[in-house]
Amino acid sequence: MNPLIDRRKFLQLASLGGGAAFMSGLGFEVLAADRLSAGVAAEDFYFVQLSDTHWGFKGPDKNPDAAGTLQKAVAAVNALDKQPDFVVFTGDLTHTTDDAQERRRRMSEFKAIVSELKVKQIKFIPGEHDASLDKGEAYQAYFGDLHYSFNHKGIHFIALDNVSDPAAQLGLAQLDWLKADLQALAANTPIVVLTHRPLFDLYAKWDWTTRDGQQAIDLLMAFENVAVFYGHIHQEHHHVTGHIVHHAAKSLIFPLPAPGSVPKRAPIPWNPAKPYNGLGFRNIEAYPWKNYRLDEKAIISGETL
Amino acid sequence: MKAYWHKCLLCLLLLTPLAATANAEPTVIVIKASKFLFQPAKIELKKGQTVILEFTSSDRLHGFSLPDFALQADIEPGKTTRISFTPDKAGTFVFRCSVFCGDGHEDMAGEIVVKDS
């Protein structure tokens, strides 16, 4: 067994009945399913998910290094031994402001900082802090389309926008677009959905839901292999609806409490004894034959573990 | 003459509750939404008693979400939004703004306390 595996915190995300053990090209021991997606030359790779950076946030009791944490994450990604194929930011790139000029200034600064990533393939997804107050106008000027899809090494990626409508819904037009996008795919095409808010009702009392998210889930249920990666809740969280897996990522500004664990949804204060505690990003090792592994990276005083 | 007025008063006292029962209109609870609070933020109701929740917004679009009773409404400025509500269980239930409205959105919440009637 590769000794690296023992040091890594990872999750087996999909059951792979009938698979055989082998060493992947990434150096991890994985279980392979007994077939590939139809007609697609599958190849293992990994990408990095960063989320909820909230550039522009100020709150020394929650993160006294709010103006430096994003840069530390960029440096940490750049320091990875093997660079990812691409990087995704799953929303709340910037912290909200009523001032339209300030919003654009924050987006400009954020974009300049992440341009320091060695990896130039960067995918952005909007969060409500970026896009709800102006229905995504500034966001689109800086980061492009609010929703889109692309293919990468046998996986169909779909970026969904559940925030530019401030009522936190995808809306009929986007659902129609999703339906059309999916129509071109075979049922065994691996699908990864990238979005900001949970598509399922994680905890409605804290507004951790998407009003019409179930309609998207219903459309995706026709596909055998679907994984959703999202942000919004500032913590690692894993959930399954039917056969669809949903994985929330940590934030890079402050952690939030576990759903329903405390009466009020308030940021967990900064702990000077454990700086950056609860913050981080993740590597997502993708094996297009129904297998993903998460490698959670914590930021500790500017270093990563 | 004095006895006459005493009888009238007695009749009024006896009939008033009957009239109130016969014309029982749901109590209207007026709730004002603004960045980033509901006023009032604490509402006491009786289990089984129907009320009308009447919302207005003084600044921008807000939302009202009461997940424990699957109640949801958008609160548009310049309009009055009314919801008929009959709580069927006692307890304390959180409601919050369900339309992102700015930096204090996450704190825009309140609670409904339903007491056994």
CB within 8 Å: A95 and B103: yes
pLDDT in tens, A5-41: 333 333 433 332 222 233 333 433 333 333 444 455 5
Indicate if the pLDDT at residue B2 is higher than 70. no
Please report the pLDDT score of residue A22 as a whole number: 31
Question: Average pLDDT, whole number, for chain B?
Answer: 87
pLDDT of residue A43: 79
> Which of A128, A205, A212, A234 best probes binding to B when mutated, by most B CB atoms within 10 angstroms?
A205
Q: Which domains does chain B have, with CATH numbers?
A: 25-115 (2.60.40.420)
Instruction: Give the model's confidence band at A280: pLDDT under 50 very low, under 70 low, under 90 confident, else very high.
Output: very high
Note the pLDDT of residue A264: 87
Q: How far is B50 from chain A (nearest CA, A)?
A: 23
CATH superfamily for A4-14+44-304 is Metallo-dependent phosphatases (3.60.21.10)
In this predicted structure, the answer to whether residue A288 has a pLDDT above a threshold of 90 is no
Size of interface A-B (CB pairs under 8 A): 37
Mean pLDDT to the nearest integer, A203-207:
93
Average pLDDT in the A136-159 region?
97
What is the pLDDT at residue A93?
A: 98
Lowest mean pLDDT among A13-17, A45-49, A243-247, B65-69: A13-17
SS (H, E, C) chain A: CCCHHHHCCCCCCCCCCCCEEEECCCCCEEEECCCCCCCCCCCCEEEEEECCCCECCCCCCCCCCCCCHHHHHHHHHHCCCCCCCCEEEECCCECCCCCHHHHHHHHHHHHHHHCCCCCCCEEEECCHHHHCCCCCHHHHHHHCCCCEEEEECCEEEEECCCCCCCCCCCCHHHHHHHHHHHHCCCCCCCEEEECCCCCCCCEHHHCECCCCHHHHHHHHCCCCCEEEEECCCCCCEEEEECCEEEEECCCCCCCCCCCCCCCCCCCCCCCCCCCCCCCEEEEEEEECCCEEEEEEEEEECCEEC
Could you tell me which residue, A13 or B83, shows the higher pLDDT? B83
Nearest CA of chain A to the CA of B72: how many Å?
Answer: 10
Each residue's pLDDT tens digit, B31-60: 999 999 999 999 999 999 999 999 999 999
Q: How confident is the model at residue B4 (pLDDT cuts 50, 70, 90)?
A: low
Q: Is the confidence at residue A78, as pLDDT, over 90?
A: yes
- What is the residue-averaged pLDDT of chain A? 87
Residue A278: the pLDDT is: 96
What is the domain partition of chain A in residue ranges? 4-14+44-304
Q: Answer yes or no: do B65 and A128 touch at CB < 8 A.
A: no
Which chain B residues touch A if contact means CB-CB below 8 Å? 61, 63, 65, 67-68, 72, 74, 94, 96, 98-103, 105-106
Q: What is the pLDDT of residue B117?
A: 76
State the ipTM, two decimals.
0.82
**Residues B2-14: what's their mean pLDDT?**
52
Which pLDDT score, from 0 to 100, does residue A291 have? 79
Res B17: pLDDT: 45
Q: How far is B106 from chain A (nearest CA, A)?
A: 8
CB contacts, 8 Å: A56 with chain B: none
Query: What local confidence, expressed as pLDDT, does residue A41 receive?
Result: 54
Is A166 close to B94, i.e. CB distance below 8 A?
no
Q: What is the pLDDT of residue A290?
A: 62
Which residue of B34, B60, B61, B100 to mutate against A (max A Cβ within 10 Å)? B100
Contact yes or no for B74 and A167 at CB 8 A: yes
Q: Which two tokens stand for residue A168?
A: 């936190």
